[in-house]
Amino acid sequence: MRGHPGHWAFLVHRVSGVLLALFLPGHFVALGAALEGEAAMDAFLAWTDRPLVKFGEWGIVLLLSAHLAGGLRILALEFLPWREGHKTMAALAAGVSLAVSLAFALALTR
Amino acid sequence: MTQLRVRVWRGGADGGFQPFAVPRQASQTVLDAVTYIQRVLDPTLAYRFACRVGMCGSCAMTVNGVARWTCRTHVDKVARDGRLEIAPLRSLPVVRDLVTEMRGFFDKWSRAEGVFRGARSRRDAFERVAPRSAQRLNVEAGIECIGCAVCYASCDVVAQNPEYLGPAALNRAWTLLNDVRDVAQAERLRAVAGDAGCHACHSQMGCTERCPKGIAPTASIAGLKRAAMRALLAGEL
């Protein structure tokens, strides 16, 4: 059964999880550059100043906030006493994650 | 008189859609349209119904891609540009045309210990159950299930994992788990806590979205997950 808020929330949670898992090795490689000396790390940091990489960073923050908010929604749904209004919860999770990512985008432009 | 253009599934799993023209009526239900086809246009059409008033749970079909009880679904609500596409329920073997094999669906109710097991005989006094007790309210929320399998056909986990007990069977197990008269709770919890049980649910809520009786099987399954977790922590599972 597709095309209702519960299914969209499920898809966003799954897809963001998979994409974050793909990002993680890249993150470790970047951190590993620090072990190879100051120059390697600085070169990497200079590369991250490119606009396209900044846009990618924004995307990662969006994925992280969406996955966190979606995860909290699922935990509330499954572990707290049942309440109506789960579509509102899904909308709230989407709103919070968008707000967090926009705040990050704002910080990037300053 | 305007015509409704209805495409109906014919044959078994490898069948196809056959077009029919059905006269449009006021307050017409999808079941009315199917019945018109069978009575007037093609008596060989196979489909199920009994009560026509939303009680028996036998007339569920896939209408324009969505599982619905056809007797209480008005054509006004679901027809798109005067068109209906009617198919058998998803995730159940097709017997013929709109009739599905329900055996697997109900076998899962048994596998989920969806049978009341009491200890009292008719010579004992009635059990006293407080109507507003938390357990009785849990039962109340799920007990009106008519076994139509709309939730089962709307569940993506059922579609991907044929072993999964499904929302209806788990909802039944949950109403019995909250029945203070029942004496087989440990067996029931074991039956629903396996790989194909409550923990396989991804809380996509397709069942809750589509249940024609307004039941939230997702709530029942979440209750089972919590009960199974508590039993596990207490060393009872």
Cβ contact B60:B149 at 8 Å: yes
- Pairing between β-strand B66-69 and β-strand B60-63 as defined by DSSP bridges: antiparallel
Interface of B with A in 56-95 (CB under 8 A): 66-67
Residue entry with tokens 């991907």:
B160
Residue of B nearest to A1 (CA): B154
Of A1, A7, A82, the CB nearest to B222: A82
User: Looking at domain B103-233, which CATH architecture does it have?
Assistant: Orthogonal Bundle (1.10)
User: Looking at domain B3-100, which CATH architecture does it have?
Assistant: Roll (3.10)
Residue entry with tokens 């004992």:
B124
Q: How far apart are CA B199 and CA B193, in angstroms?
A: 7
Cβ contact (<8 Å) for A10 and B154?
no
In chain B, what is the straight-line distance between the N-terminal and C-terminal CA atoms, in Å?
Answer: 63
Cβ contact (<8 Å) for A6 and B66?
no
Please give the single-letter amino acid code of residue B149. Answer: A
Residue A1 has pLDDT above 70, yes or no: no
Of A1, A78, A82, the CB nearest to B155: A1
Long-range contacts of A16-24 (CB under 8 A, 24+ apart): A16/A63, A16/A64, A16/A66, A16/A67, A16/A70, A17/A67, A19/A63, A20/A60, A20/A63, A20/A64, A20/A67, A23/A60, A23/A63
CB of B154 within 8 Å of a chain A CB? The answer is yes
pLDDT of residue A83: 84
pTM over 0.90: yes
CB of A7 within 8 Å of a chain B CB? The answer is yes
pLDDT of residue A49: 87
Q: How many domains does chain A have?
A: 1
Q: What is the pLDDT of residues B142-196, one digit of tens each?
A: 999 999 999 999 999 999 999 999 999 999 999 999 999 999 999 999 999 999 9
Interface of B with A in 114-143 (CB under 8 A): 141
Contacts of A82 in chain B (CB under 8 A): 141, 216, 219, 222-223
CB of A75 within 8 Å of a chain B CB? The answer is no
> In which domain, by residue range, is A58 found?
5-109
**Which CATH number fits the domain that encloses residue A50?**
1.20.1300.10
Residue B1 has pLDDT above 70, yes or no: no
Q: How far apart are CA B154 and CA B135, in angstroms?
A: 27
Residue entry with tokens 């590993």:
A32
Of B155, B32, B127, the C-alpha closest to B86 is B32
Q: How far apart are CA B70 and CA B228, in angstroms?
A: 36
Domain boundaries along the sequence of chain B: 3-100, 103-233
Q: How far apart are CA A92 and CA A97, in angstroms?
A: 9
Q: What is the pLDDT of residues B34-52, one digit of tens each?
A: 999 999 999 999 999 999 9
Does the ipTM surpass 0.90? no
Residue A44 has pLDDT above 90, yes or no: no
CB of A77 within 8 Å of a chain B CB? The answer is yes
Query: pLDDT-based confidence at B114, cuts 50/70/90?
Result: very high
In chain A, what is the straight-line distance between the N-terminal and C-terminal CA atoms, in Å?
Answer: 44
